[in-house]
Amino acid sequence: MKEKKLISLIVYLYNNESSILEFLELIIKQTEALFEHFEVIIVNDSSTDNSVQKIKQALFLKSYQVSIIQMSFHQGVELSMNAGLDLSSGDFVYEFDSAIIDFDEVLIEQSYRKILEGYDIVSVSPSSSEKRTSRFFYKTYNYFSKSDYKLRTDRFRILSRRAINRSFSISVKIPYRKAMYINSGLKIFTIEFKKKNQLKNNTEKSYLRNKTAIDTLIIYTNLAFSISISISLALLFCTLSIIIYTIFIYFGKEKPIEGWTTIMLLLSGGFSGLFFLTAIIIKYLSLILELVFKKKSYIQENIEKI
């Protein structure tokens, strides 16, 4: 017998015309075999190819409840998926951040069965490493993070409605969903799989990924604080070195222009450290301002039913 729960499938779309129909057919076929009621929410992040046209022309989608959220401009995975979460109404929500098909479709059912065991978040992750930049980011995050759960690349995840409500209750704006989920205090489980093939994925633009990575490290880890402490200690060491140098010059035989070397070293070291610490403080304040006062973080053009 099929499950009675209402399920939401949220799919991020950005220039995936070569794979999107195959991807949708795969996940819908598996979902239909498992659930009686489900909805498909496709978030189009201003694709520049024919992805949306192909979806609208696909005959197999006509018999399902499919919505397309058109983002007003390219805003990246995080803001786009937040728009999809706001529209979703399912008891459980599948999040597909990309249209990559390198996993076995039975993992969709396995992740659902696992969440029924008492977990609120179940991630499906490849066992092999991803890009170097991703590995560097995750290692940095996990090293400085206080969470017991480790952040890693995942292909998709299933969330309970409680996990979504908990995340949005923590913050109005969610800059990075994966980090918010593992810091929600709820039970998390990760299913590993061996990738069937290597496929290229068109995701958000690099500057958006970099911004998200920096914001995440500042908000969810103590990296910035560790850097500021390191700079303060370095400046303290410089100050002590200047004191020792000044005493050595004072009692030495050869003396340069009185006070010039000491003052220049002190001013250059002090001001460079001051400016760097000020930049970190300003970044913290700007993020706090956005998280506390910014009520709507994404802009969408319209919502279409097909």
pLDDT at 144: 85
pLDDT at 210: 72
Contact of 163 with 181, CB cutoff 8 Å = yes
> Crossing angle of helices 206-220/223-251, nearest 10°?
80
Low-confidence stretches of the chain (pLDDT < 50) are 294
Residue (of 177, 184, 186, 190) closest to 216 by Cα position: 177
pLDDT at 179: 86
pLDDT at 296: 55
Which string of b and e fits 114-134 if b means at least 16 CB within 10 Å?
bbeeebbbbbbbbeeeeeeee
- Residue 234 has which token pair? 């370095």
pLDDT at 183: 83
The class (CATH top level) of 3-205+298-305 is alpha beta
pLDDT at 70: 94
Task: Give 148-161 pLDDT, tens digit per residue.
Answer: 888 888 999 999 99
pLDDT at 149: 86
Contact of 67 with 87, CB cutoff 8 Å = yes
Residue (of 50, 62, 53) closest to 25 by Cα position: 62
pLDDT at 54: 94
DSSP-derived 3-state class of residue 222: coil
Domain assignments of the chain as residue spans, ordered by start: 3-205+298-305, 223-293
82 vs 130: CA distance, rounded Å = 24
pLDDT at 216: 75
Which string of b and e fits 34-52 if b means at least 16 CB within 10 Å?
bbeebbbbbbbbbbeeebb
